[in-house]
Every structure is written in C-alpha cells, then in structure tokens.
Amino acid sequence: MEKIELLYEGKAKRIWRTEDENLLISEFKDDLTAFNGEMKSSEAGKGALNNQISTELFKMLANNGIQTHFIKMLDNNHMLHKACNVILIEVIVRNIATGSLSKNLGIENGTILPFTLVEFDYKNDALGDPKLNDQHALILGLVEYQDELDKLRRMARQINDILKPYFFEKGLKLVDFKLEFGKDKSGNIILIDEISPDNCRFWDIESGESLDKDRFRKGKGGLKVAYENVLNRILQH
Ligand code: 5GP
C-alpha cells in the first residue's frame, strides 16, 4: 500500500491517503512538542518506537475485544489503518494524580485516585485543548447523542481495565493516558490514533522514574532509552 497524498500533518504524525478510500497510512514523526507547541524538539528513532509500541498495544487490545483502526505496521515509521471520521474529543484516563490534574485542582502529585477518572478535552490546538463537559460536547456538535459520550467513557474504562494490569505485570504503573476515537464507515465508534509514551504516563514501579514524554516536558533527557525500555517490556511475554 502506497502513500498517495498528504491529508493532514499533526505534531507527531502525518496522515496519508492511499489508493483505497477506506484505508489511510500514518507516518510517525520524530518530532516532539509539549505545552501546546511552545516546546519543540526532535529525537531520532522516536517515531519508529511509537509505531512499534502502538502496533503491539493495538494488537493486544483487539485480542481483548476492543475495536481499533489498526490494520498493520508497514515499516519502521508507517502504520496502515482504517479511515474514520475523527471525534474531536481527547479522552483522558487517570489512575494517579499528576500533570494538569494536580496543577488545576491541587491534588498532590502521586495521589492514587479513589476511582479511575475519565475526562474530555476539546481537541483544538487554537484553543489549547480546553476541558469539556457533556453539554459542551453536544453544543459543539462533536458527537450527536449523549449515548455516544457514554460509549466513549465506557470504552476508555474498558481499555484502562486491560492496560493497567498488563503494564503492572511488566513493572510499570499506568498513571494516565489520552485516547482518541473515530467512527468507521459503518458508524461504529472505534479506537484510533496511537497509544505510546507520547500520550501515556508510565512510572517504573521500583524506581518511580518516568518512562514517557514527561522526560522531555521536564527537560530530563534519556527519552529514547525510556521509550525503548517500554517497548522491551511489551515485547517480553
Ligand atoms: P495532562 O492533562 O496531565 O497534561 O495529561 C494527561 C495525560 O494525557 C498524559 O498522559 C498526557 O500524555 C496525555 N495528553 C493529554 N493531552 C494530550 C495531547 O494533546 N497530546 C498528547 N500526545 N498527549 C496528551
């Protein structure tokens, strides 16, 4: 399957049209951005690591009954997937307080939440991805029905229920992560985008070290080694 035309370039991926209107190719870039594009850098090999990590996680989730857009990994930086109508809601799942939750609500960093928190952000760079409630999402027309918002929450919790123990067994705490969903050509809501250390926070159970994009956000270095560490744990069965 070949790339025919660039449809969209995001901060971490380029999306290409293919000869099949139902299929797209995502090209994973080495670029790194944080704080809505205020911090920028690049790390050779980061895109390939995220492609491989996402591939393994999409396969594992599909084996556990989660519908995703994933078809196959084409090469180091390219993934073939279904074309979907993207729902412009970032679904944030949190098991442990950190990041913007700690900053905005004053919950101490590292506090284990009494239950898994699922939040919605509006996927809109110009507005800085603001928080959404259900009424905002419906007024903006991001989905048509309340049922669809309920389904996003339900799927996000199901995915967390699979990923959290999976990573725990591999010595990592799944602190929080961001998911994106789309509608396939039959109108089914399915998981899209990627699942990688760019949009998840992983803390090593023993050392407490961050093995994710917080290394870049906090200027710590060692990003590629951290992402390789996550991939190696995923590949260990
Ligand atoms: P926070 O709201 O604390 O900044 O992020 C919560 C979680 O969602 C983190 O795992 C973070 O990586 C992810 N996340 C939130 N917004 C975005 C985003 O716009 N892009 C990416 N790649 N991840 C995000």
pLDDT for position 208? 97
Domains for the chain: give ranges and CATH numbers: 5-82 (3.30.200.20), 85-222 (3.30.470.20)
| Residues 154, 67 contacting (CB under 8 angstroms) | no
What is the mean pLDDT of the segment spanning 175-185?
A: 97
Which residue's CA is minimally distant from atom 24 of ligand 1?
Answer: 199
Which residue's CA is minimally distant from atom 11 of ligand 1?
Answer: 199
pLDDT for position 230? 98
Joined together, the tokens standing for residue 30 give: 């080495």
Q: Is residue 237's pLDDT more than 80?
A: no
Which residue's CA is minimally distant from atom 21 of ligand 1?
Answer: 199
What is the mean pLDDT of the segment spanning 198-220?
A: 97
CA distance 28 to 46: 8
| Phi (first) and psi of residue 199, to 5 degrees | -125, 15
- The closest-lying atom of ligand 1 relative to the alpha carbon of residue 36 is 19
103-149 confidence digits (pLDDT tens): 999 999 999 999 999 999 999 999 999 999 999 999 999 999 999 99
Tell me the whole-structure pTM to 2 decimals. Answer: 0.97
